[in-house]
Structure 1
């Protein structure tokens, strides 16, 4: 029997989780994972009717459930929303920004006018109302994925489809019946102002399952113009569902790496503020492609140092490392070398590792556990790699979510 490892939550910086009592997190086990045929299935009930209108006026008699931090006025009430995938939610200044929240839990941890450093997150709540109106501020990149009772209505992120960017819009969802249901919204670039419900309906909080799963890396996780919905449309949210986690933190930044800052900062320079501060239960690190033209000794030292910092600061966190991405059937020498460098660093830290170049999976002690072949081949590259020759397409992210999930499962105990 595994020894349960205590995880102290008292110093967490993001509200509800910080107030939670100390708990115990057991090892990730195969027998605890959900049935993939069920958890990744589309919603099988009658689809709700969804309309989006540029207006700040709700249906007459509806009550506004505000997110935490927004000042209540009139008949407004505080909404018991379960905020997931991000923390440190903040309001803006002035009208209408002071009535909208956005998270600031990713580098550089800032909140601008109707923008923030973290565009991808989720919220969940339960309601027995027949209709809800979600108050958002439309941005040109606004997108969402709606779930009912744990089942997604669509796999890909859906563009919000508003009229004028920067203006309040109502996303009206008519369910067709007034029964209790759990509602989840994965959102991207969508300031949130609350939910209007008829006075006969109620709203209450939910509890996310599967612990906090975080991904740390570059645009392969943070998204590109080759996929819809930014980071919420990449492999990560899909893999998170397959691995049974509801609290999915996408802490990646495009263009970054172990030694490459891009427009932000290197992974080692932001690991303390972006990862360690928010205490994930599980962490997937995927980077290296933006580094592959650099010094292998520098990449190895940066990776080893960061892994040691994570291990010392988050001893209860299960960490899984993915090697260097290869978007072509024949890997360049620099990509092969970077992949090998990261494999050695992961083994030194005692972290399981998978190579996208070969498909080989290594256990925490560096032992080869199996290989299922390269992720990108001459046969699938055209469908899975976008027109830019680097980033995965929508289909590519679906595929990668399966490959990554399979690799992680291979390292898990029964």
Structure 2
């Protein structure tokens, strides 16, 4: 009996290529439940039938083991001593007695047929998301304090899939009416581990949640350690990505690893960063030949703030990932393709510019010389014209920089291009100006200090570095769109 139960709870997963190459529909946009259930809280349950998630006791606040196949556990989240990332002598290691789940971060999924359920919550330090038939109760975490019963009253009997997504929540089970039915939901999609830094550390509304939702995947594990990179070890307090592979990736046998790091390597020589990215991918590929590896760098600010040295690090990460056999997917450089010769391929600076030269006239939608920059632009020649909205790289070598064009003006029959911010470097006439893959974060602002232009006003959070809640939703959606395009356009090998 026990063996049959274990087989039911741990059914073999489909082969990785089938899961990764069979994408269902378009990206799933987060939507709210309609009509909304009535939500209330109480100190004790009122419904008679109990469906526990664990074999623990009322004094043990974390779900510890599935009971009878009622709940599907997935989204195993590193972060606990029982299953996940633990800190031992200043190093990061992964230990697990289960592999498919971890107590500090979880998704519980189940099918309920009834009109009302009560969620037994024993601890909820970070809040949790409720998703019903793929629609959310709220896009912000639902907060409770202490041990409580959260009631969802839908008002009518129906069969519904319910997913609870959390980090560090003690979820003990549900109460229902006596004739209701509850059983485990299907685990959708492959197992994917997002391997990175503080941008990917656990949180209910981290971008990994929205990435998984957009992909239609349940088993997406954020595995981020703050301050780390392909070389940086958290300034001696953790372990760099290549040294985490054996403990934080290999034991869990993911179908896909999404690398998302590099910001903490900006002060490291680019050749070392390239080797770190290369070894990260190679160690994954050597240990798990069927696991697909994709990845790229992230950004903590608009593209206008990237220095030439930062861009060198970006190039090093890409080279290292691709040398190792991975595939480049990065929101810093969204795919750019032209049918024919690229627009602006022959553009050069017409007049020199100086470091500190304003990119606009005080508002990013107006620019006159000497603000902005002027190219050898002829209105009727697309090879030297640049487009509003495009990201262009100005100069080369140690004085190259990127800006998003926000406006155009005229000076002596030539176009003047405006952008948010100011020039970082001196440039002489004749230096190349070329359109590059756009960055999904532009502008110099943040949500705490908006500049009035660019997505950074909404996407960069109050600490002026990490993402805002809206930024996490956007980052998840963008990376899901990039991965979907990549899988459909060029199957992984």
**In 2, distance between residues paired with 1:245 and 1:106?**
22
Tell me by how many angstroms 1:151 deviates.
2.1
The partner residue of 1:65 within 51, 69, 72 is 51
Tell me by how many angstroms 1:371 deviates.
5.9
Contact 1:28-1:413 within 8 A present in 2 as well = no
**Match status 1:49 vs 2:124:** no
Length-normalised TM-score, structure 1? 0.77
Query: Superposed, which structure 2 residues align to 1:12-411 within 5 Å?
Result: 19-21=10-12, 23-26=14-17, 32-36=23-27, 39-53=28-42, 55=43, 57-59=44-46, 62-70=48-56, 78=68, 80-86=70-76, 104-108=83-87, 119-139=104-124, 141-154=125-138, 156-162=139-145, 167-222=146-201, 231-262=203-234, 263-328=237-302, 329-360=304-335, 372-378=437-443, 379-411=454-486
Relative to structure 1, is the Cα distance of residues 359 and 118 closer, same or farther in structure 2, using a 3 angstrom cutoff? Answer: farther
**In 1, distance between residues paired with 2:129 and 2:330?**
30
Tell me by how many angstroms 1:124 deviates.
0.2
Q: Computing the radius of gyration over CA atoms, which structure comes out larger, 1 or 2?
A: 2
**In 1, distance between residues paired with 2:79 and 2:270?**
38
**In 2, distance between residues paired with 1:408 and 1:72?**
43
Structure 1's unaligned 5+ residue stretches are 1-14, 91-101, 223-229, 363-369
Tell me by how many angstroms 1:373 deviates.
0.5
Report the counterpart of residue 373 of structure 2 in structure 1. Answer: none
Length-normalised TM-score, structure 2? 0.65
Contact 2:77-2:105 within 8 A present in 1 as well = no
Relative to structure 1, is the Cα distance of residues 202 and 278 closer, same or farther in structure 2, using a 3 angstrom cutoff? Answer: same
Report the counterpart of residue 421 of structure 2 in structure 1. Answer: none
Contact 2:49-2:177 within 8 A present in 1 as well = yes
Larger mean CA deviation between 318-327 and 388-397 belongs to 318-327
Larger mean CA deviation between 185-194 and 320-329 belongs to 320-329
Contact 1:66-1:193 within 8 A present in 2 as well = yes
Relative to structure 1, is the Cα distance of residues 371 and 333 closer, same or farther in structure 2, using a 3 angstrom cutoff? Answer: closer
Contact 1:324-1:335 within 8 A present in 2 as well = no
Tell me by how many angstroms 1:147 deviates.
1.2
Structure 2's unaligned 5+ residue stretches are 1-5, 60-66, 88-93, 338-434, 444-453
**In 2, distance between residues paired with 1:355 and 1:249?**
19
- Greater relative CO (CA pairs within 8 A, separation 6+): 1
Contact 2:266-2:313 within 8 A present in 1 as well = yes
**In 1, distance between residues paired with 2:8 and 2:205?**
25
| 3-state SS of 1:238 partner | helix
**In 2, distance between residues paired with 1:310 and 1:355?**
19
Contact 1:128-1:203 within 8 A present in 2 as well = yes
Contact 2:195-2:259 within 8 A present in 1 as well = yes
Report the counterpart of residue 376 of structure 2 in structure 1. Answer: none
Contact 1:136-1:193 within 8 A present in 2 as well = yes
Report the counterpart of residue 98 of structure 1 in structure 2. Answer: none
Tell me by how many angstroms 1:360 deviates.
4.6
| 3-state SS of 2:203 partner | helix
**In 2, distance between residues paired with 1:354 and 1:144?**
29
Root-mean-square deviation (CA, aligned residues, Å) is 3.3
